[in-house]
Structure 1
Amino acid sequence: MKNIAPDVYQIPLFPRNAINCYVVEDILIDAGIRSSGNIILNSIQNKTITKHVLTHAHADHQGSSKTICDTLQIPLWCSALEKETAENGNVIFGYPNPNHLISKFQKKCWAGKGHPVSHTLKEGDHIAGFTVIETPGHSHGHLSFFREKDGTLIVGDVMTNMNLLTTSVGLHEPPQLFTTNQELNRKSIKKLALLKPKILCFGHGPVLFNNGELEKFITKF
């Protein structure tokens, strides 16, 4: 577990930061794939976690949510538009091509079982010092989380900081194969850029201490 900013910790779940989850104060954000449960539980054994929150309910973010919530006896929160998927485990529901080989692999090998959602989050809500930002596009109800006082942003999958095929570091849009609406996601990228974040924490790729990289990236749109 890596300390990124005050009360913000990254838990890398795959080599080269290919899949990450985060702890902010007493909240676990995202939970990797189905086999990530032990890594997460071992990483947080000295932390008191009271809630589990999803940026979105794809297989590489909700995979061990049920395991975490059941083991720690904590509630699961997400957006209203992700609630059904988080509860039924149909993680490829919003994919443009759910019958693609990779989509089927994710559902079979990465996705966890659904878990009841006890509370839904919306734009402007606050959790652990972060403001909830609605950032749809990659999924219907994707959420990001921003802390204004130091510019820390939990991005989720609105952007990645690596090429998911080569693992080379750099800002990218999420793959179209897993993105519900690419144009809407680009609007969410621009929305996040307007916040002028200083520290960006991604679902995929290393943390970015922004030195103009984001501003350069959005000029592509």
Structure 2
Amino acid sequence: MRPLAPGVHQLLGRPPHFMNAYLVEDVLVDAGTPAARRRITRQLDGRALSAHVVTHAHPDHFGSSHALCERYDVPLWAGRRDVEAIETARPVPAPGLLPALLAKMPMPDPHPVARGLVEGDEVAGFTVLDVPGHSPGHIALWRDHDGVLLCGDVFFNVLRPSAPPRFLTQDDERNRESMRRLAQLRPKLVLFGHGRPLRDPDRLRRLVG
């Protein structure tokens, strides 16, 4: 695991930074695809976990959630408006033909959500922010005292910071609003679902204008 800030570690993956999961104190944030289970357990075995948080109900983020919650006997938490999608393993697709076809592909195992997170909830010293658009119940985690932001897929940072692909985004305009909201925080460290960490508080603001 790679330490990034006090109490915050990035789990290692192959290729690096392609599909990220994080350990925040004793809470696992996101779980990749079903194929990520082994690499995640290799890094978590022997550590005490209290919960697992999913930033949003897409299969590359809750793909191993069922297996990991069972293995470590921890509850699953997610944004309240994404609970049904995780419990039924039926994410809300983006508009269009391609997203409809993607929605018919095999999905990860469903898992019951023990806690539906809402704006202002606390998770391991971070505040939950309601940032819908990429999915209906997308959440971010924000730590105000040192400016650390786990933004999920509100932004991507593959090659450069950007919006997530439209064909994967349920409501592009709402996601743009969420991008603007997070950029206004001027985070000192941004941790993405996809891409390298970013330590430039003005980069996101330049992106959203």
Partner of 2:33: 33
Cα 1:63–1:213, aligned 2, differ >3 Å: closer, same or farther? same
Report the Cα offset of residue 217 of structure 1: 1.0
Partner of 2:126: 130
Q: Give matches, 1:20-99, under 5 Å.
A: 20-91=20-91, 93-97=92-96
Identical-residue share of aligned pairs (%): 37
SS of residue matched to 1:141: coil
**Misfit runs of 4+, over 4 Å:** 98-102
Q: How many residues align?
A: 209
1:201 aligned partner, one-letter code: L
For structure 2, the 5+ residue unaligned runs are none
Partner of 1:121: 117
SS of residue matched to 2:170: coil
Partner of 1:165: none
Answer whether contact 1:30 1:61 (CA < 8 A) is retained: yes
Report the Cα offset of residue 20 of structure 1: 0.3
Q: Give matches, 1:149-188, under 5 Å.
A: 149-162=145-158, 169-188=159-178
Answer whether contact 2:128 2:141 (CA < 8 A) is retained: yes
Q: Tell me how far apart the structure 2 counterparts of residues 102 and 161 of structure 1 sit (CA, whole Å).
A: 26
* CA deviation string 1:144-193 (max 9, x = no partner): 0000111000010000001xxxxxx2111000111011111010011111
Cα 1:40–1:98, aligned 2, differ >3 Å: closer, same or farther? farther
TM-score (normalizing by structure 1): 0.90
Report the Cα offset of residue 195 of structure 1: 1.2
Answer whether contact 1:64 1:112 (CA < 8 A) is retained: yes
